A = this chain, B = another copy of it.
């Protein structure tokens, strides 16, 4: 900055260079110039500050979620008889970090033991004689290890025998349980979430959550599914903490279109293990269909910070100075040189 020799360095330190300016008096040039200045100013104030809040330093949310499910259900099926379901029955596993599962449909296979039985009939298990079955073979689509025998599955079909938990589960006919969605998450002593009247209440009815996601409860309960409880927690910490609250929304997360989906719905298998009086292990296998609720918390908090402010204003000022120095240099050349 400025040519200054070492001898005159003290004087040079207090020297200040500036440029000679020429003032252009033209209404057209002036108008366009002011318009561009106004546009940049508008961009800085309107877009950068108000819309994007780029003067803020942001940080993303770190969250921990606890959930609780309340209520009882009743089913009357041929295999189980009349049965009441409470939270210890339908909430599997009993507690999760930010996710809970509500059992809404099931296929029960009681009194399974480790023994042998004929496989479920399909293209590769149907047999005519023992020679069609390979001892020790373990088909990935099958339910166990083949013993090499060909047994009667029904009066008309013979299939290869397997060593497995027998009797095998038959999950072709999924019951259409007509459960009333009385399973809910509210004591009703407290508030209850409602998009219009009570948008801040963290107590939800299962039915409401499913319909907020624009899904049909009965359909989703039969085949199962995954429902996201999205908690949007965006905060502007330049305002009082008071204004910083969560917003709830609901969305189905699994792919319900049967065409491009391997296994529509949501289900998993678990078993309850028992011991018979003679010490042998037996189990009840349950293929559980239900709705998994994933609580997903996201959001950013912003607070005024020097660095992003200077960076954004600086960048806008660069364009502002560009207008005066670069864009107009041609005009200037034409007029004055």
Show the binding face of A for B, using Cβ within 8 Å.
1-3, 11, 13-27, 29-31, 33-34, 43, 47-48, 52, 54, 60, 62, 64, 66, 68, 70-74, 82-84, 86-89, 91-99, 101, 114, 138, 140-145, 162-165, 180, 182, 184, 186-190, 203, 226, 228, 253-254, 262-263, 266, 268-275, 277, 282-283, 285, 288, 292, 294, 296, 298, 306-307, 310-319, 321-322, 324-326, 328-330, 332-334, 336-337
Contacts and interface: CB of A to CB of B under 8 A. Distances in A.
A301 to B, nearest CB: 13
14 contacts: A1-B326, A16-B26, A16-B324, A19-B22, A19-B325, A20-B20, A68-B263, A72-B145, A84-B145, A88-B271, A95-B268, A96-B96, A311-B315, A318-B318
In the complex, the count of this chain's copies comes to 3
A325 B47 CA distance: 26
Contact of A30 (B16, B27, B93): B16
A97 B294 contact: yes
A99 B99 CA distance: 12
Nearest to A101: B95
Helix, strand, loop or mixed for chain A's interface?
A: mixed
Contacts of A324: 16-18
* A-B pairs with lowest CB-CB distance, top 8: A314-B315, A14-B30, A3-B333, A94-B270, A314-B318, A88-B271, A16-B24, A97-B99
A85 B337 CA distance: 92
Contacts of A1: 326, 329
Contact of A316 (B275, B283, B310): B310
Given A47-B307, A298-B62, A188 B143 contact: no
Contact of A86 (B71, B95, B164, B315): B164
A23 to B, nearest CB: 5
A16 B29 contact: yes
Contacts of A101: 95
Contacts of A312: 307, 310-311, 315
Nearest to A269: B88
A306 B180 CA distance: 51
Given A70-B140, A314-B316, A337-B3, A47 B270 contact: no
B165 A84 contact: yes
A310 B314 contact: no
Given A314-B319, A317-B322, A306 B226 contact: no
A25 B14 contact: yes
A209 to B, nearest CB: 15
Contacts of A17: 21-24, 324, 329
A245 B235 CA distance: 30
Nearest to A330: B3
Q: Give the interface centre of A228, A283, A312, A318 by most chain B CB atoms within 10 Å.
A: A318
A122 to B, nearest CB: 11
A152 to B, nearest CB: 21
Nearest to A99: B97
Contacts of A71: 140
A228 B24 CA distance: 66
Contacts of A262: 187, 190, 203
